[in-house]
Amino acid sequence: MSRPRSVLLTAAVTAGAATLVPRITCAQTTDPRLREVQYDAHVVVTVPVKRGVVTHVVLGADEAITEVGAGLGGDCSKADSVWCIAAQPGGHHVFVKPKSGANAPNNLAVVTDRRTHSFRFVVLSEGDPRPPVYRLVVKPPAIAAARPAPADPLPAAALLLPPVTVQTAPPAPAPATVVAERLTAAPHVVNTAYSIAEGKGSEDIVPALVFDDGRFTYFRFPGNREVPAVFHVLGDGSESLVNTRMEGDLLVVDRVSRR
């Protein structure tokens, strides 16, 4: 279930078009190639890019990437791919580079543990005077300050009434709290019958322990080794990137799979 550590986009995802274009402003520097935009869940961010130039997209530090997908693909390892797009699960950085054959715009969907981002990368033609974006910082959405409700004065008659005690049931826990408690619960080992096919040169990403609890699959890697990306083998033999997270010293995959 292991693959090389760098995540290469191979899944095709079509992001919905939007009629609104967010205001992309220059960063505090005067360099127009460094831009900032505030996150809006209902807007597709259009980014001008140039062939052979890497564009670095920086998401919020409070979010971690779980899934990515590009409409025209972005496998950096394939020579016939005209786009190279890379992102690391658990991080908040995305790197986009159109190759020499890139002409049509490419849309990119980035899903994190907090938000869903939609981008549209437009390739500037040769001779276009507009500069491409080298770095785009996506700032978290603004939080509106809550206004206290005005206090209504009590009528004089109400001041003469005895206080009324109302017994209410304790509030139900929030769904996010229930999910967090279940995710942090110690895993119950159901199956440890896993075999490992070790490829040449992959010794440093072979897990020391693999098991599942019937819902999730758990991996433990020895020492302080870098955690690889995990893929699920579909029925037709193709592979799909799956969601992962760290719980203590265990890498948790959000599914159980035969391969």
Q: Which residues of 102-124 are buried (b: 16+ CB within 10 A; e: fewer)?
A: beeebbbbbbbeebebbbbbebb
Paired residues of 111 in beta bridges: 67, 116
Helix (H, G, I), strand (E, B) or coil at 182: helix
* Range of weakest confidence among 46-50, 175-179, 208-212: 175-179
Q: Are strands 231-233 and 65-70 parallel, antiparallel or unpaired?
A: unpaired
Place of tokens 């979010």: 63
Class of domain 25-139: mainly beta
187-253 has CATH 2.60.40.2500 classification: yes
The one-letter code for the residue type at 41 is: A
pLDDT band, residue 179 (cuts 50/70/90): low
Top pLDDT among 170 and 184 is at 170
Q: What pLDDT is stored for residue 236 in this prediction?
A: 82
Whole-model pTM over 0.85: no
pLDDT band, residue 138 (cuts 50/70/90): very high
**DSSP alpha helix (H) spans, 203-244:** none
Of the candidates 248, 244, 254, 239, the one whose C-alpha atom is nearest the C-alpha of residue 65 is 244
Asked if residue 133 lies in contact with residue 56, where contact means CB atoms within 8 angstroms, the answer is: no
What are residue 107's phi and psi, to 5 degrees?
-95, 150
Q: Do domains 25-139 and 187-253 have the same CATH topology?
A: yes
Q: What pLDDT is stored for residue 209 in this prediction?
A: 86
Confidence check: pLDDT of 131 > 80: yes
pLDDT band, residue 226 (cuts 50/70/90): confident
The span from the CA of 166 to the CA of 232, in Å, is: 54
pLDDT band, residue 152 (cuts 50/70/90): low
Q: What pLDDT is stored for residue 173 in this prediction?
A: 78
pLDDT tens per residue, range 47-96: 999 999 999 999 999 999 999 999 998 988 888 899 999 999 999 999 99
43-47: average pLDDT: 95
The span from the CA of 106 to the CA of 85, in Å, is: 11
Q: DSSP secondary-structure letter at 138? A: E
Helix (H, G, I), strand (E, B) or coil at 177: helix
- Domain spans, the chain: 25-139, 187-253
Q: What pLDDT is stored for residue 44 in this prediction?
A: 94
Q: What pLDDT is stored for residue 13 in this prediction?
A: 33
pLDDT band, residue 227 (cuts 50/70/90): confident
What is the overall mean pLDDT for the chain?
Answer: 79
